[in-house]
Structure 1
Amino acid sequence: MQNINPTDLVDEAGACRFLGGEQTPVHRSTLWRGINSGRYPTPLKIGPATNRWRVSELADFLEKAAAEAAAERKAAAERKAAAERNGEAA
């Protein structure tokens, strides 16, 4: 993706690429399911059939998701280490 400023707005295809990457963008139906479930940021409605996403909101979502995944990996590793110390099967 070209250089993007956090204050930029992206269209649906841009949001899909931002969330999934250039090679494997998120499918548009996955994007909308995520929006409807509250997982992904909601777009700005700038016209009757025109939506745009703030790059900063998409980036914040990715940072939060990465932090949650890292915390879960750390917690799993701690549980495994505790089980091994107690002689339990992992």
Structure 2
Amino acid sequence: MPTREEVEEVLRKVADPHTGLDIVSMGLVEDVKTDDDSVKVVIRPTNPFCPSALFIVEQVKAMLQHELGDDVDVDVKLVGHVLAESGEENEG
């Protein structure tokens, strides 16, 4: 089972495409939970209209799957974004 610290270290490899800063340092990672062979991450963009929010969510999911392996179930949730609040919430 990956630890929260291991997951956060992987998330530091995901950069915001506009700033080049990692999403952990930017405060975009609202929550990380690990349980047996699963990881749940909640992403909250700094702007509810952020055009890159869905891209970041997909990058997070891909990076976690790549680094942790396919035997770990990865769930990435977007909150605080117009698409998330309109019922089109992106969950991995």
TM-score, with length taken from structure 1: 0.26
Tell me which protein shows more strand as a share of its residues: 2
Structure number with larger C-alpha Rg: 1
Tell me which protein shows more helix as a share of its residues: 1
TM-score, with length taken from structure 2: 0.26
